[in-house]
Amino acid sequence: MTNKDVRIVSLIPSGTEILATLGLTNEIVGRSHECDYPPEIQNLPVCTQPRLNSQAASSKIHDDVNNLLQSALSIYDIKTDVLEKLQPTHILTQDQCDVCAVSLQDVEKAVASLIHTSPQIISLQPNLLEDVWTDIERVSHVFDVDSVKVLENLEARVTICQQKIQGLSLTELPTVSCIEWTDPLMFAGNWIPELVNLAGGQSQFSVIGKPSARIPWETLINSNPDIIIFMLCGFDLNRTRQEAQLFTQRPEWEKLHATQAGRVYITDGNAFFNRPGPRLADSLEILAEILHPEIFDYGYKGTAWDIL
In terms of domains, do 120 and 169 share one?
no
- pLDDT at residue 109, rounded to an integer: 82
- The domain containing residue 106 runs over which residues? 3-125
In terms of domains, do 115 and 167 share one?
no
Residues near 115 by Cβ (< 8 Å), separated by ≥ 6?
A: 84
In terms of domains, do 88 and 164 share one?
no
- The answer to the question of residue 145 being in a domain is no
Question: Residue 208: helix, strand or coil by DSSP?
Answer: strand
- pLDDT at residue 73, rounded to an integer: 44
Q: What distance in Å separates the CA atoms of residue 218 and residue 174, rounded to the nearest whole number?
A: 20
Residues near 302 by Cβ (< 8 Å), separated by ≥ 6?
A: none
146-193 confidence digits (pLDDT tens) = 999 999 999 999 999 999 999 999 899 999 999 999 988 999 999 999
What DSSP string runs through 83-115?
A: HHHH--SEEEEESS-TTTS--HHHHHHHHHT-S
Amino acid letter for position 35: C
198-241 confidence digits (pLDDT tens) = 999 999 998 999 999 899 999 999 999 999 999 999 899 999 99
In terms of domains, do 106 and 172 share one?
no
Q: What angle do CA 38, 180, 276 make, to 5 degrees?
A: 35
- pLDDT at residue 153, rounded to an integer: 98
- pLDDT at residue 96, rounded to an integer: 59
In terms of domains, do 106 and 209 share one?
no
- pLDDT at residue 72, rounded to an integer: 44
The total domain count for the chain is 2
- The answer to the question of residue 132 being in a domain is no
- pLDDT at residue 99, rounded to an integer: 52
The pairing of beta strand 227-230 with beta strand 264-267:
parallel
In terms of domains, do 110 and 158 share one?
no
In terms of domains, do 169 and 58 share one?
no
In terms of domains, do 179 and 277 share one?
yes
Tens-binned pLDDT, residue by residue, of the chain (308 aa): 446 689 999 999 999 999 999 999 999 999 999 999 999 999 999 998 876 656 666 666 656 556 554 544 456 788 989 999 999 999 998 875 555 556 777 788 877 877 777 899 999 989 999 999 999 999 999 999 999 999 999 999 999 999 999 999 989 999 999 999 998 899 999 999 999 999 999 999 989 999 998 999 999 999 999 999 999 998 999 999 999 999 999 889 999 999 999 999 999 999 999 999 999 999 999 999 999 999 999 999 999 999 99
* Residue 233, domain CATH: 3.40.50.1980
